[in-house]
A and B are shown apart, each in its own frame.
Chain A
Amino acid sequence: ETGVTQSPTHLIKTRGQQVTLRCSSQSGHNTVSWYQQALGQGPQFIFQYYREEENGRGNFPPRFSGLQFPNYSSELNVNALELDDSALYLCASSPRLATDTQYFGPGTRLTVL
């Protein structure tokens, strides 16, 4: 059974640029959630996708957007990057319901200069 994978591992961008992060969900999982984990903090919920539709959103501005594809993989897009966007971005997948256990990928470390 393949776990959750994310790419790239690390990324360095400058302010104002745009970034796309990718996530492949665990086999059999159709729900994907994205989190931002700043240094020394717990993960903060960005949004969730279920069967290609957004299914809940946290307190993040519209410049954070996402997609889920028919194979349940997902992308997180961030436009107009700001210094405070520097963080570890985590993707998690769950089997069916949003309240099911979520399994996390290794994350993408984004640094904005």
Chain B
Amino acid sequence: AQSVSQHNHHVILSEAASLELGCNYSYGGTVNLFWYVQYPGQHLQLLLKYFSGDPLVKGIKGFEAEFIKSKFSFNLRKPSVQWSDTAEYFCAVITHNTDKLIFGTGTRLQVFP
């Protein structure tokens, strides 16, 4: 069965630190990849997505992610985090043979001023 792994369950950073959140998936076929963010008290919002083309995708609020097909990875990065980035981050994958969006367990990011 397809699955998504997020290795970092809880990350604590100071403002201006760099961020990288890991995401790996288990499926060898065509996938669409997503990062969603859930700010405290708010609903899931799309941060960025990859369907095809340039494997380095840029999203909102300065986030980017790189799709490395050979590593089945789609890691999220931000060069300098802000206190307002405190949230839960979810990696999600949809495979073209099942059409089911599968989420990782999430990474809780806390940024301190």
Contact present for A33 and B101 (CB under 8 Å): yes
Contact among B46, B102, B106 with A41 in the assembled complex (CB-CB below 8 Å): B106
**Contact code string B61-99 (vs A, CB < 8 Å = 1, else 0):** 000000000000000000000000000001010101011
Main secondary structure of the interface of B (DSSP, over half): strand
The yes or no answer to A66 lying at the interface (CB within 8 A) is no
> Separation in Å of the B82 CB from the closest CB of chain A?
23
Main secondary structure of the interface of A (DSSP, over half): loop
> Separation in Å of the A29 CB from the closest CB of chain B?
14
**Contact code string A64-93 (vs B, CB < 8 Å = 1, else 0):** 000000000000000000000000001010
> Separation in Å of the B30 CB from the closest CB of chain A?
9
> Separation in Å of the B80 CB from the closest CB of chain A?
26
Contact present for B43 and A106 (CB under 8 Å): yes
Q: Would A58 and B100 be within 8 Å (CB), given that A43-B90, A99-B94, A101-B34 are in contact?
A: yes
Q: Could you pull out 29 A-B pairs where Cβ atoms are within 8 angstroms?
A: A35-B103, A40-B105, A40-B106, A41-B106, A42-B4, A42-B90, A42-B104, A43-B103, A45-B101, A45-B102, A48-B99, A58-B100, A90-B44, A92-B101, A97-B99, A98-B94, A98-B99, A98-B100, A99-B32, A99-B51, A99-B96, A101-B49, A102-B101, A104-B36, A104-B43, A104-B44, A104-B45, A105-B43, A107-B43
